[in-house]
Structure 1
Amino acid sequence: MTIGSQIAWDDTVLPFQLDRSDIRGRVVRLDGVLEEVLSKHDYPPQIEALVAEASLLTALIGQAIKLRWKLSLQIRGNGAVRMIATDYYGPSEDGQPARIRAYASFVAEDLQPGARAFDQIGEGYFAILIDQGQGMVPYQGITPIAGGSLTACAETYFAQSEQLPTRFALSFGQSTANGATHWRGGGVMLQHMPKASPGVAGEGGSGEGGLLQHGDLLEGDEGENWTRANLLLDTVEDLELVGPSVQPPDLLVRLFHEEAPRVFEAQTLRFGCSCSPDRVRESLSIYAPEEIAEMTTDEGIVTADCQFCGAHYEFDPATLGTGARSDDA
C-alpha cells in the first residue's frame, strides 16, 4: 500500500515500518468498535477509561497474531477494579476483519471519587495470553501492575518479558456529531525490530521496582534511532491520534517523514463475541447436580449472561452439569 492510498480508516489497524530506523509500528483507529464495547455496559467514567485504553492496546498488539489465533489481555488487581479482560480474534482468513471484545469487573462501592482510573486497580498483574488453537499450549506472559497506566504496563511487559523496546501513544474520549455522542479512540505503537540482544536482562532496569523499560534495552546507533523516533512520537496531538480529520498515512508522514515510513495492508476491526448457547452449556458442564440446583431460579431455569456482550441465556437445569448425561446412559 502506498502512503497516498485512501480507505475508510475508522476501525482499522495500519502496520508500518520506519526503514531508516529499523523500527516497526502500527496506527489504530477505533470508532464503532469502541462504541459497541462500552455501550454494552453502564460503566462509571473511570472504568470506561480503563476499558477504552485496554481495547486500544489490544488492537495494536493483536494485529501481529496469525489467522484464527486469539490474543487476550488480562489486568487483575486487588483494588476496586478486580479485572479487565479483552480478546482479539485473528481473522478467519485473509481479507476478513479481526474481532475485539472487552469487559471490566469491579466493586462499585470501592471506587474512589476523584482518584485516577489506574489507581483503582491497586496491586496485581498485567498479562498477555496467546491461544494458537486446538492442541497447542497457550502462551502467557505476566508483568506487575506498575508505571502509572495500562500503557506503561504494556511497555514494561514487552521490555521485561520479550526484550523488545516498545512505546505506545494513545488517546480516547467521547465526541459529538449531529447531536449524537459516541466513543472514539486512536493510538500509535512503536517497536524496535527483534534483532536487538540487550545485555541488561536480569540486572534491573530504570522502571518502578527495578523493572526494565524500553529505554534500557538499546545503545549505540540503535539507541539513538530509538530515542529519535520516540521524540518524534512525543509531538503527536490527541486529535491526530483519534481522527478522523487526519488520516493515518498522513499522520505517519507528519511524524516520521525523515525515517522513510512504509505502510502495509490495513487490518479492519469489528466488535465480536464468541459466546453461544453451546459454549455457555459447556462452561456449566463442570458443575455437580447440587450446584446446578443452587443456580436454578424459582421459575425452574438456569440463567447466564455474557460479561462481554450482555447476551442472556436460559437453560433447563436437567440438561446442565455433570449429571446431565446420566439419564441418557
Structure 2
Amino acid sequence: MSIGSQIAWDDTVLPFQLDRSDIRGRVARLDGVLDQVLAQHRYPPEIDALVTEAVLLTALIGQTIKLRWKLSLQVRGDGPARLIATDYYAPTEPGAPARIRAYASFDAARLTPGVVPFSLIGQGYFAMLIDQGRDMQPYQGITPIAGGSLSACAETYFAQSEQLPTRFALGFGRARLPGQPERWRAGGVMLQLMPAASITAPAEGGSGTDGLLQAGDILGGDEAEAWTRANLLLDTVEDMELIGPAVQPTEMLVRLFHEESPRVFDAQPVQFGCTCSEDKVRQSLSIYSAKDIGHMTTDEGIVTADCQFCGAHYELDPATLGFEAEQGRDAGA
C-alpha cells in the first residue's frame, strides 16, 4: 500500500460502533488541520502540544453531537497557559467537511521549557459550549481541571456533566513523512457508552478528585463489564497506530475490537476554517459609544482588530463604528 493511499485518512473522523458492547466511538487522524491551526502563531512546543490535544478532542467530540452549528471547548487556568480555545463548525451540507479553529493565550515570561504541557494550566476549568444557532438556547457545561491531561478533563466532564462514560486514547507529536518537512500529527480514539443505556449517578459523589464522577461510578452489571472489556482492549493501542499513517483506522479497529463486532460508518472530513469577517467585527463593536470608539482609535485615525484564530487583520473607519454611528445611519436613511 502506498503512502498516498495511507494518508487518505488524514484530517478525517471515522465513526464506529461496537455492536456487542453497545458502545459507540470515533477515530480521528489530523495532519493538515493542525499545520494550518499552528501556522497562524509561533507557540512554544509546550503550547503547541496543548493546542494539538485540544483540537484532537474537539474533532472527536464534535462529530458525536448532532450539531447544527458550533461546538466550543475552552480550558482556562491560572498557570502560564491561560486559555486554550477551540471551535468546531458542523458541515453545512451532507459530504461537506467540518471546520475547526483554535488558539491559545499564554504568559511567555512564566513558561518553563521542557515541563509537562498540562502542568502549565494550573487550577481552572474545562468548559464545553454547544450553540445550535439562531433562536436556540446555547448549552454550557463546566467542570474543574482534573487528571493529568486534557483528555482526562474531557472524560471527567462527560461523567460529571452528562453521566456518559467516555474514554479517550490520544497520540500526537512532531513527525516527518517521506519528502515532507517535520510537522505535528495527531490521532485518537474516543469510546462512549450509547446514551440509551440506563445510568444512575451516585448521590454521595464520585471517586474522582474532589468527589467528581468517573465512568466507574455510574455503571453497574453488564454495562460495567462491557465498558471494562472495551477499555482493556483500547489500552493495547500504540501511538503509531493512533497517529498513522502506516496503519489505517479500519485495520486498527479490527485489531483492537474484533471480538466486539466493530461496525464503521462514513468518515467525516475536517479542515481548518475561520468564520471571522469585517461584518462580525463591526457587530462586536456596535455596543460601544463614540467616546469608547475614540479610545480604540489609533494615531493614524483607524480602529484595528486582529482575529486570534486565523490572524486576519481589519482596519476600520471609527466614524462607522458603535451604536451612535448605527443610529446616525438609521436616521439618515
**Structure-1-length-normalised TM-score:** 0.95
Offset, 1:326: 4.2
Q: Which residue of 1 aligns with 2:264?
A: 263
- Per-residue deviation, 1:121: 1.1
State the percentage of identical aligned residues.
Answer: 73
Alpha-carbon offset, residue 195 of structure 1:
3.0
Partner amino acid for 1:95? G
- Measure, in 2, the Cα distance between the counterparts of 1:155 and 1:326: 48
Tell me what 1:172 maps to.
Answer: 172
1:181 maps to 182
Aligned Cα root-mean-square deviation (Å): 1.6
Deviation readout 1:38-82 (Å, 9 max, x if unpaired): 111100111111100000000000002335321110111111122
Question: What amino acid maps onto 1:100 in structure 2?
Answer: I
Whether the 8 Å contact between 1:164 and 1:214 is mirrored in structure 2 is yes
Contact (CA 8 Å) 2:88, 2:100: kept in 1 or not?
A: yes
**What is the 5 A alignment of 1:234-249?**
234-249=235-250
- State whether structure 2 residue 312 is matched by structure 1 residue 281: no
Q: Give distance in 2, aligned partners of 1:12 and 1:170.
A: 15
Deviation at 1:175, TM superposition (A): 1.2
Q: Which residue number corresponds to residue 311 of structure 1?
A: 312
1: CA distance, partners of 2:114 / 2:98? 36
Q: Which residue of 2 aligns with 1:79?
A: 79
- Aligned counterparts of 1:199 and 1:90: Cα–Cα separation in 2: 31
How far apart in 2 are the matches of 1:287 and 1:120? 35
Residue 224 of structure 1: CA displacement?
A: 1.1
Matches of 1:114 and 1:174, distance apart in 2: 15
Structure 2 unaligned runs (5+)? none
Using the alignment, how far apart are the partners of 2:46 and 2:114 within structure 1? Answer: 9
In the comparison of the two structures, how many residue pairs are matched?
325
Cα deviation 1:236-291 (Å, max 9, x = unaligned): 00000011111110010010001000001111101000001101111111122122
Within 2, Cα distance between the matches of 1:130 and 1:75?
15
Q: State whether residues 57 and 151 of structure 1, in contact with CA within 8 Å, keep that contact through their aligned partners in structure 2.
A: yes
| Amino acid in structure 2 at the alignment position of 1:82 | R
Distance 2:97 2:65 in 1: 13
Output the amino acid matched with 1:161.
S
Say if 2:81 and 2:121, in contact at 8 Å, map to a contact too: yes
**Is this contact kept in 2: 1:68–1:93, CA < 8 A?**
no
Counterpart position of 1:41: 41
User: Counterparts of 2:317 and 2:282 in 1: how far apart (Å)?
Assistant: 10
* Paired position in structure 2 for 1:135: 135
Residue 159 of structure 1: aligned partner: 159
Q: Deviations over 1:111-161 (max 9, x none)?
A: 233432111111111011100110010011111111111100000000011
Q: Residues of 1 paired with 2:67 and 2:197: CA distance?
A: 27
What one-letter code is carried by the residue in structure 2 that aligns with 1:319? T
Instruction: Supply the AA of the counterpart residue of 1:34.
Output: L
**Counterpart-to-counterpart distance in 2, 1:182 and 1:82:** 24
Structure 2 counterpart of 1:113:
113
What's the CA shift string for 1:69-121, capped at 9, x where partnerless? 21110111111122111000000111111000000111111223343211111
Give TM-score, length-normalised by structure 2: 0.94
Preserved contact between residue 6 and residue 247 of structure 2 (Cα < 8 Å): no
SS at match of 1:66: coil
Residues in 1 aligned to 2:24 and 2:64: alpha-carbon distance in whole angstroms = 11
Task: Specify the alignment match of 2:323 in structure 1.
Answer: 322
Aligned AA for 1:252?
L
Alpha-carbon distance between aligned partners in 1 of 2:227 and 2:154, rounded to the nearest angstrom: 17
Q: Does residue 34 of structure 2 align to residue 23 of structure 1?
A: no
Kindly state the Cα deviation for residue 196 of structure 1 after the two structures are TM-superposed. Answer: 3.3
Aligned to 1:213: 214
